[in-house]
Structure 1
Amino acid sequence: MNEAEAAVLIALLHARPRKMSWSAIASEVALRGSATALWDECFPPTLEGVNDLDGHLARAWESLEAWRSEDFRLLTVLDRKYPSRLREIHQVPPILFVRGQLRDDEVAVSVVGSRRASDRGRAVAARIAEGLVDRGIAVLSGLAEGIDAAAHTATLKAGGRPIGVIGTGINRSYPASNRALQAEVAKCGAVVSQFWPGAPPQKHSFPMRNATMSGLGRASVVVEAGEHSGARIQARLAVEHGRPVILTDMVVGATTWARDLLARPGVYLANSTAELMDLVDQLTRTAAGIDDWSNVLPDLVDH
């Protein structure tokens, strides 16, 4: 990591020149290949040199110094080890805090759903996670209660690689009851956050987390969800990202949004775990080089 560029990027995120969003800053920095170039455009140098009248750069360096003693690492959108799949989405996070090992070349599939999951929903999530582990596929989820926790727990039990993408800072656990699970996920896979290390849970942070989950994965599986579930947001974002979405018969039978989404290209219905895993096999086997999934599996399932 180029610390000087990282410090300037952090300062830009605090300053938010021109009221730019974080993803807009990330895109502009990536386009230039330099955070410093964007900083100098927004804050032209003074006669004394770099313009840091508000102290954002100084505070950014202080943050980097403090984070050196932490057990996580920082990736910026300028780093070579930043996940390449995330660079493809509009909501690209400018920074990632990672505890554990995040592998850019691994195949991962999201397993998501309701926090208030039924016993059947949790059992189905566990079976799907086991099936993914059997295929050497990492299991992405959000470390929430319900479907997320069931998927992560089953992945760990089966000896697979869990990846938890959280909606808080890397030094927080939400809910607190999943603190031990989050530690195990980091130990055996990775925990990823795009927020400041101490950031508390906020309403707007969870849709941002869902966008990152979609971007990291090859596909998103929605096991069970309500009409206003965060899983609904992830499914729609995945369609936007050109990532396949697999909906179980449970979520399609229970929600209007899922039935409506089935009309979109790249969205598939699975009536059983076996059918769902067949879909995963097809999608992951043909993934290389495919950007438009709308015609990949036209006959595999009947919408």
Structure 2
Amino acid sequence: MVGSDHRERTAWVALLGHAPSRSSQRLLTRRAVGSGSSLAVLRTQLGQPTLLDDPVENALRAAQEHITAWERTGITVLTFDDADFPARLRTTHDMPGVLFGRGTMAPQEESVSVVGSRAASPFGLRTAGLLAHGLARDGITVVSGLASGIDASAHRGALAANGRTVGIIGTGIRHAHPEENRRLHSEVAAAGAVLSQFWPDTPPDRTTFPARNATMVGYAAATVVVEAGEHSGARIQAREAVEHGRPVLLMRPVLDRVSWAQQFLRCSDVHVAQDVDDALRTLREIIDRPKDPRRPYDSLADAR
């Protein structure tokens, strides 16, 4: 059984490593989850063995070499079948099949994603820090994207409360973007974890950050948008949260300053908070809701 589990884990890396695009990675992830075997899907993709060669065994050997090399440099490799894979992320239809991390994994933790503009105002930065501090004080993990502005302030607010914080980044785990936040990456990993769905050396591009936003939505119980512009990445995350059926909390200045916020108010489970205390009350109510009794596979089957 151990050998079989190990092969399935390695097959996840081999399967997604052979995918030509991120859209094909998503499709293959859904197939592997639906069939219950990444190895079976890998065999379908690569073909049957011949007398001289077995493409699947070759792919598994190469994948294991990569995993060993990554782990030697302190990178944790998590696949969908691993016990430490984030539990809430399993229930989303757009989840990654493999995650790369640094820090301590806590798959069952309760968390809230706090996001907003990189070019944040002093008021927005203060609000993000106070909100994150309050969440961390209540034992709730603060999730953000380790970007400049609201993200960095949220992580620092949680750290100031000696709380747990998780950074979900839009590059490979070996990169820091922006570079000036590299020390913050280390601080977040020491107090919680830094996670990436991209191969470790992946540089930033215009597609990686929206994909990261969807993963943040899946990881957390709710998303808070502290401050945002008309074309902010926070808008993408709010839209992803609505599409995934996850609660969204808009701080009042967002509603007052951007037109898209009014449109989101028509959606189910979108809330407005007047201030930090109001936001914390609403988020505690969301966290305390009864858990969905369905198994993760049931939710994924509904998504298909």
Q: Same fold (TM over 0.5)?
A: yes
Instruction: List per-residue Cα deviations over 1:79-122 (Å, max 9, x = no partner).
Output: 23211211211111010011111211111000000000000000
Letter in 2 for 1:47: T
> Which residue number corresponds to residue 295 of structure 1?
none
Q: Quick one: structure 1 residues 114 and 20, their matched pair in 2 at CA, closer, same or farther if it must change by over 3 Å?
A: closer
> Which residue number corresponds to residue 125 of structure 1?
128
> Which residue number corresponds to residue 63 of structure 2?
60
Counterpart CA distance in 1 for 2:200 and 2:18 is 18
Q: Quick one: structure 1 residues 171 and 263, their matched pair in 2 at CA, closer, same or farther if it must change by over 3 Å?
A: same
Letter in 2 for 1:145: S
> Which residue number corresponds to residue 24 of structure 2?
21
Q: Quick one: structure 1 residues 271 and 53, their matched pair in 2 at CA, closer, same or farther if it must change by over 3 Å?
A: closer
Residue identity (%): 42
Counterpart CA distance in 2 for 1:63 and 1:261 is 43
Does the 8 Å contact 1:96/1:194 carry over to 2?
Answer: yes
Gaps of 5+ in 1: 292-303
Which of residues 251, 256, 265 in structure 2 aligns to 1:253? 256
More helix by share: 2
> Which residue number corresponds to residue 213 of structure 1?
216
Instruction: List per-residue Cα deviations over 1:161-219 (Å, max 9, x = no partner).
Output: 01000001111111000000110000011101111111111110101111111101010
Q: How many residues align?
A: 291
> Which residue number corresponds to residue 269 of structure 1?
272
1:159 paired to 2:156 = no
1:75 paired to 2:84 = no
Larger relative contact order (Cα-Cα within 8 Å, sequence gap ≥ 6)? 2
Counterpart CA distance in 1 for 2:52 and 2:21 is 21
1:235 paired to 2:238 = yes
Of stretches 220-229 and 35-44 in structure 1, the one that deviates more from structure 2 is: 35-44
> Which residue number corresponds to residue 146 of structure 2?
143
1:188 paired to 2:206 = no
TM-superposed CA distance for 1:139, in Å, is: 0.2
| Backbone CA RMSD of aligned residues | 2.1
* TM-score normalised by length of structure 2: 0.90
Gaps of 5+ in 2: 295-304
Counterpart CA distance in 2 for 1:145 and 1:235 is 18
TM-superposed CA distance for 1:68, in Å, is: 2.8
* TM-score normalised by length of structure 1: 0.90
> Which residue number corresponds to residue 48 of structure 2?
45
Q: Quick one: structure 1 residues 43 and 161, their matched pair in 2 at CA, closer, same or farther if it must change by over 3 Å?
A: same
TM-superposed CA distance for 1:51, in Å, is: 3.6
Counterpart CA distance in 2 for 1:104 and 1:49 is 42
Instruction: List per-residue Cα deviations over 1:124-159 (Å, max 9, x = no partner).
Output: 001101110121100000000000000001111111
Counterpart CA distance in 2 for 1:203 and 1:16 is 19
Letter in 1 for 2:86: P
Of stretches 191-200 and 49-58 in structure 1, the one that deviates more from structure 2 is: 49-58
> Which residue number corresponds to residue 299 of structure 2?
none
1:93 paired to 2:66 = no
